[in-house]
Amino acid sequence: MMNQTVFDTSEVLVRKGIKHVVLSPGSRNAPLTISFARNPGIKTYNVVDERSAGFIALGIAQNLKEPVVLCCTSGTSLLNYAPAVAEAFYQEIPLIVMSADRPPEWIGQRDGQTIDQSGALSNFVKATVQLPSSPLHPDEQWEYIRKLNDGVNLSVSGKSGPVHMNIPFKEPFYPSADQELKFSENIKIIKPYRTPFDSSTDNELLSKWHLADRRLIIVGQNERNEALDNVLEKLSNKAVVVVDVISNVSTTDAVRHHDLFLAGIEQKLGESLKPDMVITIGKSVISKNLKLFLRKYQPEMQWHVSAHLDQADTFQTLTAAIESNPVSFLEALDDQSEKEQFNHQITSNYIQNWQIEDARTKRKLLKTLAILDWSEFTAFNFVLNQIPEGSDIHLANSMPVRFANFIQQIKPNCEVFCNRGTSGIDGTNGTAVGHVLSTDRPTYLLTGDLSFFYDRNAFFHSYPIDNLKIVVFNNFGGGIFRLINGPANLPELEQHFETRHQHTAKYTALEYGFDYHGVKDMKALDKAMAALNKDLKSPKLVEVFTDPATNSDVFKAVKTATK
């Protein structure tokens, strides 16, 4: 049986404007050959010699000034494209090189026509895109279609140029005798846009904005930006503005507690919060529950706006990648307000639905925090509220950034930083130290014990870091593993997941000359934070000791109370 997602390859490319494919015959690329040959929207050319095929495709693309596909079988056939691909690279001509490949497990096993193809053209292409092998799982199918979109978009973004898509295929390659093949109707197409609001295609965007009644604007990780705050404030009566703690957005009406109220959301509420349109700006989003919500309650369209083409499809709903300054783009939307055609009452009710849930959750959270026992979460809440205005805050990954995202009580003129590019625990201390070396602002590092101990060498130097204030939340291991589904009830929890220990940060503080305070209750924490905030005459460290079992119980109580 031929894989339906693979058969849809040519249909995706046709819908993205591809009209010409130069094929070289082979067996491994048979699924692609069949897809192209049976698609009336594609004109195919069969050229046996791949070197000649490459230059023929180059000539077509050079003349038409549009992407052309090159398709070959596995092995050295791909390498024969190199001269034409190099020429296309330096002429800035968009070629889509699609090479069939052997399954990765057979690379280096002396199997016929099997070489390491990934990166074979890396010096002469804008990117190498590795597609999944014989996609069967829904996530693999989404990845396959998404990467086809990405490759074509990238070939014409900025400087045009060739892109290599490498596709491993497992047998069988050919359809069975009784298999009926037809292209899928609901194929996801991600359209690239460059300069907004100065062409007919951009008027298409404006029309969609005007006609959408239930709009959601999501800001991922971002630096502080007063102009962004201002435009989001203006748009907050036309769309729901959702932010994470690392968004650094101070807009008054922004929804901030979504990570709590979207957890295990009921169908009725989910339907009331489902958007028609989502616009995303910034980088990564912390909230896993927001991701799960949008993957389930999918909008009709999602646009991601960034200064450079960014086609990350976090919510699996991306329909347009817009290459534009996000502030300018949103300001242009706001300037179009007099042309609005949406139903104001529906939009107003939709915004209110989100804001009611946000306010209710915040109210329940604050009420719950007031009665909870000493724990990591209550201590973290207290610390966050004690950080003064005008400070910079570095959050370690794992629980610190999640706790901060739940609590959200960041004072004005503070900026939040976190290594969410990869979301690892390594390098947290070093990043904060580098920040301190380049600013006079008080800088607070809120970190877990494992993150802190892992990166102690960040202090192994003689540079002054007097404006650094560290709070280490020491639960004697990786406490997150008691709070997430899966490992909490396993017999291996303490030894192999939490990595239990009895270390304290006191000796690190003494070694590097930090003022040190160890605390085990709220009264002691109050005094320690007062000492931490007193001056910038030396680096200071507060170590907050908590019990992991109590932390787990309190965290569950918070999640239950805010439902």
Residue 280 and residue 331 in one domain:
yes
Per mean pLDDT, which range of 7-16, 96-105, 165-174 is the poorest? 165-174
* Percent of the chain residues topping a pLDDT of 90: 66
Residue 81 and residue 159 in one domain:
yes
pLDDT of residue 117: 86
Question: 488-521: per-residue pLDDT in tens?
Answer: 667 776 666 667 788 999 999 999 999 999 999 9
Cα separation, 451 vs 456, whole angstroms: 9
Residue 273 and residue 348 in one domain:
yes
Give the tokens for residue 287. 């909230």
66 within domain boundaries: yes
Residue 423 in this model has a pLDDT that exceeds 90: no
Residue 122 in this model has a pLDDT that exceeds 70: yes
Q: To the nearest whole number, what is the mean pLDDT of the chain?
A: 90
395 within domain boundaries: yes
Give the tokens for residue 217. 């604007």
Non-local (6+) Cβ contacts of 311 within 8 A are: 146, 149, 150, 153, 154, 190, 192, 304, 318, 321
366 within domain boundaries: no
Residue 175 in this model has a pLDDT that exceeds 90: no
Q: How many CB atoms lie within 10 A of CB 175?
A: 17
Contact 414, 393 (CB under 8 A): yes
Apex 349 CA angle, 345 and 353, nearest 5 = 170
178 within domain boundaries: no
> Final residue of a domain: which of 153, 168, 183?
168
184 within domain boundaries: no
Residue 220 and residue 248 in one domain:
yes
Of 354 and 26, more confident:
354
Residue 322 in this model has a pLDDT that exceeds 80: yes
Provide mean pLDDT across the span 216-243: 95
pLDDT of residue 514: 97
Q: How many CB atoms lie within 10 A of CB 326?
A: 23
User: For residue 393, which of 454, 442, 459 has the smallest C-alpha distance?
Assistant: 442
What's the CATH code of the domain at 162? 3.40.50.970
Cα separation, 519 vs 471, whole angstroms: 11
Residue 412 and residue 517 in one domain:
yes
Q: How many CB atoms lie within 10 A of CB 536?
A: 15
Residue 200 in this model has a pLDDT that exceeds 60: no
pLDDT of residue 154: 93
In which region does residue 488 sit, left (phi positive, over 0), alpha (psi from -120 to 50) or beta (all else)?
alpha
> Final residue of a domain: which of 359, 384, 408?
359
Confidence of residue 157 (pLDDT cuts 50, 70, 90): confident
Provide mean pLDDT across the span 185-196: 80
Of 386 and 133, more confident:
386
Residue 199 and residue 120 in one domain:
no
Residue 232 in this model has a pLDDT that exceeds 60: yes
181 within domain boundaries: no
pTM of the shown model: 0.84
Provide mean pLDDT across the span 61-88: 92
Non-local (6+) Cβ contacts of 105 within 8 A are: none
Parent domain of 251: 191-359
Total tally of structural domains belonging to the chain: 3
Residue 279 and residue 395 in one domain:
no
Confidence of residue 274 (pLDDT cuts 50, 70, 90): very high
What's the CATH code of the domain at 346? 3.40.50.1220
Non-local (6+) Cβ contacts of 489 within 8 A are: none
Provide mean pLDDT across the span 254-266: 94
pLDDT of residue 315: 94
* Percent of the chain residues topping a pLDDT of 70: 93
Residue 427 and residue 281 in one domain:
no
Residue 317 and residue 270 in one domain:
yes
Residue 50 in this model has a pLDDT that exceeds 60: yes
User: For residue 8, which of 192, 190, 191, 188 has the smallest C-alpha distance?
Assistant: 188
In which region does residue 113 sit, left (phi positive, over 0), alpha (psi from -120 to 50) or beta (all else)?
left
Residue 113 in this model has a pLDDT that exceeds 80: no
Provide mean pLDDT across the span 50-66: 92
pLDDT of residue 338: 57
458 within domain boundaries: yes
Range of 47-51, 245-249, 426-430 with top mean pLDDT: 245-249
- Number of H helices and number of E strands within the chain? 20, 18
20 within domain boundaries: yes
Residue 394 and residue 522 in one domain:
yes
Question: 333-386: per-residue pLDDT in tens?
Answer: 887 765 666 677 888 999 999 999 999 999 999 999 989 989 999 999 999 999
Residue 352 and residue 253 in one domain:
yes
Residue 87 and residue 222 in one domain:
no
Per mean pLDDT, which range of 6-10, 209-213, 302-306, 531-535 is the poorest? 209-213
pLDDT of residue 201: 56
